[in-house]
Every structure is written in structure tokens, then in C-alpha cells.
Amino acid sequence: MSVAHVMAAVSLAGALASGVVAASQPQPEADRSGPPRWLLASVAAPVSRQGPVPVEIRGEPGTYQLYRGNAPYVIRGVGSQNPDDLATLPRHGGNSVRNWAVEDGAILDRARELGLTVALCLDVARERHGFDYDDAEAVARQFEGLREQVLAHRDHPALLAWIIGNELNHDYSNPRVYDAVNDLSKMIHELDPHHPTTTTTAGISAELAQVIRQRAPDLDFLSVQVYGGLAGLPDALVEIGLDMPLMVTEWGTIGHWEAPTTEWGAPIEPTSSAKAQRYRTGYEQALAPLAGRVVGSYAFLWGQKQERTPTWYGLFTADGRRTEAVDVLQRIWTGDWPANRAPQVAGLALDGQAAEDSVRLRPGQTYAAAVQASDPEQDPLRFDWRLLRESAATQSGGDPEEIPQELADAVLSPEASETQLQAPTRPGAYRLFVYVGDGQGGVGHANLPFLVAQE
């Protein structure tokens, strides 16, 4: 089943993010948008509960197509590790999920209940976490443990493909990791002839391409993960002549490592509306033009997590409200907008300045803050302001982070679009958040980093 191709260089930014971390945010508002009419009939079809559904890639460069059960299968995918987050995915037109670790396999069962498929990720150890791929005994133990996971889940009807490790090239130096990937791929093909194998990369350089070509030729396709540079993917593939089947297993907004920063180095997060536009242009400029080359894609992240901020990557807030990017994905997947769309946020100002102005405040002084927001259906908007200390996290690759401390009572009118902020008395870096709800399950948000310092 394997496809071996010579790969060349392309520089693509990518980042792993896994897990869902709750944050202190507004109280839930029910999502009343309801399922679109086009979905009612398709969801009703029962999903087989017995035996594997064969999956393969057919065609040649430019005509690659994923087949499931001998029929073309177009992935409308998202990334998620939490089975509880998947209930809303079919409502918006999604049909597949990729995760980052097998755990107990509950995500497969939940996917089957919802009519979804799963690109199931084996959590292969990373060198940056201390694993030594020169330690033959450790590699053998890992192999046996992952073999047991393959045996446990190979016949599940929701299984779509095997992902062998996530971004194993991130901060790595030992190419033997890809010997282990190849051995795992061969093992999977021996135990499970029905599902293809891949590994994901955080970008791919000429050196990495050569390593994978030489050391992991058993893989069926390559998976790349790219954020801010997604629009450049079609040109990059032409330039390097990369002709093997591809998936884009993480894509979405700009990464925090790619974003502009304040003068003191705080990354400037786009508003929820600016992120939604990035999803739309990323699809239109990169993924759609690559039909026949890219056999599937998974938007990041169907859920919420803390990574530099509580809002940077999640398509939802911690209380389950959906952002405008979810509406965009539904439009991409189905051609229809939700019946009720999420609020839109145009900008946030503090002391009359934007985040790009590197806002500085004096300790204990009071300053005006205002958000520009609107709602497509003119629903009454509800505002919730929060002040957090700036994250001090230095983790990379989506490793778990702690939620920064929230400072209570700093915002004097927390339920208004224009308010007053009393700057903390303690000098340091902080971040002001605002959430704009529509009472219909939708939310927009923005935040602004600032520095408190004595003049």
C-alpha cells in the first residue's frame, strides 16, 4: 500500500497543540443555531458497527483521491483530543477528526456514534522530551506498546488512517527517529492492511525531506502542518516538485511564534474576526487550489486550550461558545452560513491605542478601553472584560501551559462596550480580554497586551 517518493525542501511553519485546558471565562450561552437543513438526511444514515472500512489513496500527482469503502471520501476535518467536543461537528458539516494520542480509544467510539472518521495518532516519543532513539531497548519497548494500540483499534469502523507521531522533527537532531517511524509503518501494514500510514511534520526542510525519503519510505503519504504560511503552500510545492499525496493535518490562524510583537516581546493576537478571515483565505488560496494533491485537511482546534492565551487557537471558548471561524468552516464545508452567525469584532483600544502601539500604562491609573463589535443579525450584544497577567510560558510545540492569573475588579464596567480599566499597581506585563456574546451561542473576542511601568 505504501507510496515512496523523492521529497525536496519546503519551509512551512507548524505547531502541535493538544488537549483542552479550561480557563476562567464568561458563563455559557446555549448554541441555538440548529442543524442546517442539508444535514438532516445525511446524519440519519446509520454507521456500521462491525469491522474495518478499507481506506486507500488512488491516482497520480494532480489526481490523488482518498477512497473509503471504495467510494471517494472528502475530508472536512478538525483537530481535537476531547470526544466531548465533537457533538457539534456534524451540525456544521464536519466529518472527520484527527487527534494527538490514542489514550483509551474513546474518540473512535464517539466518532462512530456521530458518523465521523478518525485519523488516529500514535503518540510516538519526542527527542525534545528526552527520548533517546539510540537506546535500542527503549525504542523496542515503545514499538511493543504502540503495537498493542494498533491491535486494539485496527478494526474500528471509524478509523480512517494512522498518524505515526506528531511533529517528531520539532527540535530533533537524531534521524533514527524516522527509522522507528518506518518500522512502525511496516508493523501497521502487516497488522492492518485496510488503513494508510503517515507522519506529521512541523515544516519540511531539504535535509528533513532527505531523511524521511531514505529512512521512512514505507509511509503512504506525508502530512504537513502550517499556519501563517499556508497561502504559500501551492507555490512551494511547485517549486520543490513534491508529488506524493499530502494532508494538511493542522491549519488555521497565524501562530503565536509568527505574530508581530510589542516592544517588550508580547505576541499580538488577531481578533476572532481576523482569525476567521485567515481560515477563509487559507482555504481559498491554498487548500482549494491543491485539490488532487492534498487528500484532506484538518482545521485547528475544535475546542479550546491555553497556549500563550486562552483564545489564540480554539475555535470555541472554554464555555463552549463558537467563534466566527466556525461559521467560516461551515460555509467552506457546506456552502451555507449558519442560521445565526457569531458576533464580529473589528478592534480593541486601550487609552486610545491599539496593541501595535505597545501600550504602556502607569500603575494604579484609570484608562478608557473600548471594543468595536457588531452582529450580523443585530442580536443584542453582551460584553465581558477580563484582565490577566501576561503568560510567562516558554513551552513550544503545544506543550501544556498554565493559565495566567486573573486580576479581579480591575475593569470598572465589565458589561459595557466602553469601560474603564484601573491599571495594576504592580509593574509588569498584562493582557486585557473582551468577549462579545450574542445570546445565541456565538462569541467574538479580542485582547490587548500592555505594560505597566513607572515613567
pLDDT tens digits for 131-164?
999 999 999 999 999 999 999 999 999 999 999 9
pLDDT tens digits for 105-114?
999 999 999 9
Q: Cα–Cα distance between 267 and 327 in angstroms, integer?
A: 26
- Residue 17: predicted pLDDT: 33
Establish how many alpha carbons lie within 13 A of residue 133's alpha carbon, considering only the half-sphere containing its beta carbon.
Answer: 19
| pTM, rounded to two decimals | 0.89
Assign domain 344-452 to its CATH architecture: Sandwich (2.60)
178: Cβ contacts below 8 Å, ≥ 6 apart: 168, 199, 211, 212, 215, 216
Domain 37-334, CATH homologous superfamily name and number: Glycosidases (3.20.20.80)
| Dihedral angle sign, alpha carbons of residues 98, 102, 104, 108 | positive
- Residue 455: predicted pLDDT: 72
At residue 35, does pLDDT exceed 50? no
- Residue 16: predicted pLDDT: 31
Over range 179-195, report the average pLDDT.
98
- pLDDT band at residue 336, thresholds of 50, 70 and 90? very high
SS3 294: strand
Over range 441-454, report the average pLDDT.
97
What mean pLDDT is reported for the chain?
89
At residue 52, does pLDDT exceed 70? yes
- Residue 203: predicted pLDDT: 74
Q: Cα–Cα distance between 315 and 309 in angstroms, integer?
A: 13
Percent of the chain with pLDDT over 90: 79
- Residue 206: predicted pLDDT: 67
Burial of 7 (0-12, 13-18, 19+ CB in 10 A): buried
Instruction: Find out whether 72 and 54 touch, Cβ atoms under 8 Å.
Output: no
Q: Cα–Cα distance between 224 and 255 in angstroms, integer?
A: 15
- Residue 289: predicted pLDDT: 94
Other C-beta atoms lying within 10 Å of the C-beta of residue 211 = 20
Over range 321-334, report the average pLDDT.
98
Over range 297-316, report the average pLDDT.
97
- pLDDT band at residue 15, thresholds of 50, 70 and 90? very low
Indicate the domain borders of the chain. 37-334, 344-452
Highest mean pLDDT out of 205-214, 389-398, 419-428: 419-428
